[in-house]
Structure 1
Amino acid sequence: MSANIRQSRIAWRDFYELTKPKVVMLIVFTAIVGMMLAVPGWPGFVPLTIGSLGIGLAASSAAVINHVLDARIDNLM
């Protein structure tokens, strides 16, 4: 049972790394700064949160798609 748990942790960690979390954090940070500069005053908690979450999910999914496509191209080289 212990080996299965260890394997599943490795798999989830690998999936997490596919999303390029450090790059996504920088993208979300830049988006938050942009949202704050776009409107006078505070943009509001809900739009800021939902916008940041959406941008983070979109960037993460794009990173995974990029990894998958690059793996296929790398196999052809």
Structure 2
Amino acid sequence: MEAIGGIAGVLTTSAFVPQVVRTWRTRSARDFSLGLLWLLVLGNCLWLTYGALTGSAALVAANVVTVPLTLYLLGMKLRQG
């Protein structure tokens, strides 16, 4: 089961990478909904906490990467609009 979680974590986390790269290059997060980004950051932080509390290495690993990615997007949205 942990392997399935690991694969899911890699896929969902890597889904953010192209958007972070595009946001980095264009210096714009205009097309993002602020509400979406806040919910993603909060949800990923909770998944990270849940993974730590349950001992799920897959959840922890995925969200240790995803939280900074979503925080970057949120930060860009707050700064650049």
Tell me the TM-score normalized by structure 1. Answer: 0.36
Larger radius of gyration: 1
**Which one has more relative contact order, counting CA pairs under 8 Å at least 6 apart?**
2
